[in-house]
Amino acid sequence: MTIKAGDKLPDATFLTSGSEGPRPITTDEIFKGKTVAVLALPGAFTPTCSAKHLPGFKEHAAEFRAKGVDSVVCISVNDVFVMKAWGLDQGVGDDVMMLADGNGDFTKAIGLEMDGSKFGMGLRSQRYSMIVKNGVVDTLNVEAGGEFKVSSADYMLAQL
């Protein structure tokens, strides 16, 4: 079943890169008591994700904060080393927290996985964005296959 507005996020652990290397971080650490803008996408270094999706959230990070968002996080079914390299390549710095859902456990738990096998990608995340308040989905925007409209930073900012 796909998660929807009003649902609590499931407990999960991601990996992120810290100053001392990869470290686990839980949904409670990320979302408890906070308002968080989430962007999720099929893969690091893929065309739309690199040219539009992540750059939009980096570009508008200050606007999200001005509208009461505590942090912006990017989730992808990639390993932590790829997410770190992609974040460096995109120059996200502290504007966007890069979260690796390496085995797709979180993505499967919220019902937003997709099969990218025909592109040699295996299990991946659908493209979506959401606002999460204190661990509960407030707004969820899931793209139709191959589209990039409702998960953009501009679209989400208009919802805040």
Q: For residue 100, what are its two tokens?
A: 């690796």
The H-or-E segment that residue 155 falls in is helix 153-159
Active site residues: 49
- C-beta separation of 125 from 107 below 8 A: yes
131 residue type, one letter: I
Which among 100, 103, 106 has a CA at the least distance from the CA of 23?
A: 100
Identity of the residue numbered 89 = D
* DSSP 8-state secondary structure symbol assigned to residue 61: H
Tokens 């507005």 identify what position?
Answer: 5
Q: Which of 117, 77, 119, 129 has the alpha carbon at shortest distance from 98? A: 77
Provide the Cα torsion 57, 105, 29, 142; round to 10°: 30
